Structure 1
């Protein structure tokens, strides 16, 4: 178990109000449908679906939307989605990973490549930046869940691999294959989490100034606006002063 990390995870600002909320609900619903279609439609028997439903509930996706997404997976005419990962570099040499679900690979690849090019980045081959990240489970709790020692003890008992605590809350890390089990154990000890998901955790980061951050955010926002894109992660960091100016 270790201390604090300065890196900024960039499943970043989902909160561009109503439009962003609607888009987020759509992405989470798609993940629920795919997870249910690939396994059992019962979340208790399907770890991926259980995590998808938990993440949807954490951002207040209505129960009827969740139920509808699960039922959609069992319909004979349900869409078939391919899961694809794109990798490349953004402005300032920042490494970027894009995860997508699509029913049309050519459309998605074309759109992602075009977005990188228009926003000053370069789309690379699969594997071109993936080695700079670790696939990890990330569980986030508010500061009110307990003090640093309480959360640390709960995380150790649950089998987590690391904890980062600050005034803003607690980030608990797990090996990606252990996320469902650790999450369930922590829920019994600490209650519901704010977020539970698989993420790409950067091994190193690239620090950007205000101009660099503005250029990078243009790329990340454009990628996240694509309906086929599920998540975008980049290995940047910036000072609090720069972030306050964005």
Structure 2
């Protein structure tokens, strides 16, 4: 079990989501609808739905929105979403994975390809970069829930494999098949709902990028993240705190 890591900067910047709240709720609603449609609306018998709802609650999504997303799954003529994974390269040769939920495969592919191409990237074939990542469970709690040492011990007892704590969050990683059990154990142990609990693509190794590459890379990620069909974006890049400060000036 490792201690603090720099993995937080590998995914799309969480702070940017604050100004895109309605877009975030839309993506969460889509995941809830798809999960409920695939496994049924009962959270007790549908693990994917349970995790999706936990994440929505952790992001302060209104209860009415959650119920509406579940009810939408029971409509007979509602649109069907396909889950598609796109892989490619960003500025600096970074590896990027984009997860999509779309009702129009052609639109999604075209817009995502353009997002890569116009921002210094290149969309590749499925499998071109995913071998550099591992599919794992990720659970995120607010830092105020427990101290770093307390969360480390609780995560260890719950069966987690790695913990990264900083001033804002505790990020707990576990084997993908253990995500449900670890999430439930930590929710009981902390008495708090996680901000997020889901399967992610975690890079096995990271590339530290310079200021100019980081600027181009984050612009590309912002463009992709703004697409309605895009649910999640992962990469193997690492940005130092010094560069992040420069970018925020």
Q: State whether TM-score is above 0.5.
A: yes
**C-alpha displacement of 1:16:** 5.2
Change (3 A) 1:99 1:14: farther
Alignment partner, residue 133 of structure 1: 133
Residue 16 of structure 2 aligns to a residue in which SS? coil
Instruction: Give runs of ≥4 in structure 1 deviating > 6 Å.
Output: none
Which structure 2 residue ranges, 5 or more long, are not aligned?
Answer: none
Kept after mapping to 2: 8 A contact 1:140/1:171: yes
Paired position in structure 1 for 2:14: 13
Q: Which residue pairs with 2:81 in the alignment? A: 81
Corresponding position of 1:25: 25
Note the alpha carbon deviations across 1:38-61, whole angstroms, 9 max, x for none: 002011211000000011111111
Alignment of 1:70-109 (within 5 A): 70-109=70-109
2:188 aligned with 1:188:
yes
In 1: Cα distance, 2:23 partner to 2:70 partner:
18
More deviation, 204-213/158-167: 158-167
- Tell me the distance in 1 between the aligned counterparts of 2:236 and 2:153: 29
Is residue 243 from structure 1 mapped to residue 244 from structure 2 by the alignment? yes
For the 8 Å contact 2:54–2:195, the answer to whether it is kept is no
- Unaligned stretches of 5+ in structure 1? none
User: Could you tell me how far 1:157 is from its partner in structure 2?
Assistant: 2.1
TM-score by length of 1: 0.95
CA contact (8 A) 2:17 2:24 kept: no
**Contact 1:112–1:223 under 8 Å retained in 2:** yes
Shift of 1:14: 5.4
* Aligned equivalent of 1:175: 175
User: What number of residue pairs does the alignment pair up?
Assistant: 245
Residues 57 and 195 of structure 2 are in contact (CA less than 8 Å); yes or no, is this contact kept in structure 1?
no
Residue 153 of structure 1 corresponds to which residue in structure 2?
153
SS at match of 1:163: strand
Kept after mapping to 1: 8 A contact 2:135/2:199? yes
Alignment of 1:196-207 (within 5 A): 196-207=197-208
Shift of 1:152: 2.3
Helix, strand or coil for the counterpart of 1:74? Answer: coil
Could you tell me which residue of structure 1 aligns to residue 119 of structure 2?
119
Residues 114-138 of structure 1, C-alpha deviations (whole Å, 9 max, x = no match): 1111111110111100011111111
Is structure 2 residue 222 aligned with structure 1 residue 216? no
> Alpha carbons of 1:135 and 1:16: their partners in 2 closer, same or farther (altered >3 Å)?
closer
1:46 aligns with 2:46: yes
Tell me, in whole angstroms, the C-alpha distance in 2 between the residues paired with 1:44 and 1:105: 32
CA contact (8 A) 1:14 1:21 kept: no
**Deviation of 1:149 (Å):** 3.3
Does structure 2 retain, via aligned residues, the 8 Å contact 1:15–1:21? no
3-state secondary structure, aligned to 1:107? helix
Measured after TM superposition, the shift of residue 17 of structure 1 is 4.6
SS of 1:45's equivalent in the other structure is: coil
**78-87 or 202-211, larger mean C-alpha shift:** 202-211
Shift of 1:64: 0.6
